[in-house]
Amino acid sequence: MGAITLRQVQEDPNRKDLFGVLNNYIQPDSATSVSQATASFTKAISTPDEGFFWGFWRDIFNVAEQIPHDNAAQDKLAAFIRELTLVPNTGDKIWEESRVWIDLPLLGASVREHLDQVAQGDARVSFHAFLARLYHTGVSPGTETTAIWLLRDALEQDVNPANNASKFDNDLAVAAVYIEYAGATFVQKLALQPEPVLTDESRRVLRGGKLWTEGSGLTVGRWKFWGRRLGELVESAAGEEAKALALHAARLIEVWSDKQLST
């Protein structure tokens, strides 16, 4: 893995140390541990408020979007966020009584806001690969909903790639990275709970697309359907990367289903 050079898009004196800490920590030859990186950053922050956290998450997403989805620096960035939840309780609370840093204030709200802002292309794939990694680390359970939305959009609709080939490839790649980087966590959940218990609101939010009408939420049947669709849509992809990602994700679903979800 080569060195990563981060670009700080917007200078903010309240978060001036973040890019420096991360630029050092995520490098492949860095001797800085994740605990050292988080301690170095958080000790300089006296009383972070709501405005600080809105900007902080924008910065983190900006960093994630600069790192290729398959680069180990993404794993290190996700570990950095997980480590923040272990910082001793400061006693400060913001935004619906979220504890600093334990509850990662505003993370969910910031993700929802950013979903419509990230541009198509490699940055979008990297952003969603990072969200998938956060889910896999156990610090962002709300990502399951986001993943289902993105998989629904890419795999459960009757799409015509000819209408917008680049968007089709990008949507397919985004769906695939959720399987690649969070799939093992999905499988573990499915093995414990093959059919989710949903509220009426959750059933509505997590409903299927046009091609999936057999229930809402994360189910074994839906999981296997995603695998079949990834395999089917590969031939319609224009780019080699989207094809490779979709093929790999389809194979992962097939193997995991056979080993852990067979009945």
Q: Express as a percent the part of the chain with pLDDT over 90.
A: 79
pLDDT at 226 over 90: yes
- My answer on whether 79 and 148 are in the same domain is no
- My answer on whether 186 and 136 are in the same domain is no
Which stretches within the chain are classed as H helix?
A: 16-25, 34-42, 50-66, 72-84, 107-115, 122-137, 143-155, 165-192, 200-205, 220-233, 240-260
- My answer on whether 168 and 45 are in the same domain is no
- My answer on whether 198 and 242 are in the same domain is yes
- My answer on whether 80 and 21 are in the same domain is yes
Domain C-terminal end among 99, 123, 140: 140
Q: Which domain holds residue 195?
A: 142-263
Which value, in Å, is the radius of gyration of the alpha carbons in the chain?
19
Task: State the pLDDT confidence band at 147, using cuts at 50, 70 and 90.
Answer: very high
Neighbours of 182 (CB within 10 A): 23
Distance CA 258, CA 122 (A): 32
Domain C-terminal end among 79, 113, 140: 140
- My answer on whether 132 and 147 are in the same domain is no
Supply the pLDDT for residue 12: 62
pLDDT at 10 over 90: no
Distance CA 113, CA 65 (A): 15
- My answer on whether 82 and 209 are in the same domain is no
- My answer on whether 154 and 129 are in the same domain is no
Neighbours of 256 (CB within 10 A): 21
**Domains contained in the chain, number:** 2
pLDDT at 96 over 90: no
- My answer on whether 243 and 155 are in the same domain is yes
Mean pLDDT of 113-119: 93
Q: Express as a percent the part of the chain with pLDDT over 70.
A: 94
Task: State the pLDDT confidence band at 20, using cuts at 50, 70 and 90.
Answer: confident
- My answer on whether 180 and 203 are in the same domain is yes
Domain C-terminal end among 117, 140, 163: 140
pLDDT at 1 over 70: no
- My answer on whether 168 and 127 are in the same domain is no
Task: State the pLDDT confidence band at 262, using cuts at 50, 70 and 90.
Answer: confident
- My answer on whether 178 and 224 are in the same domain is yes
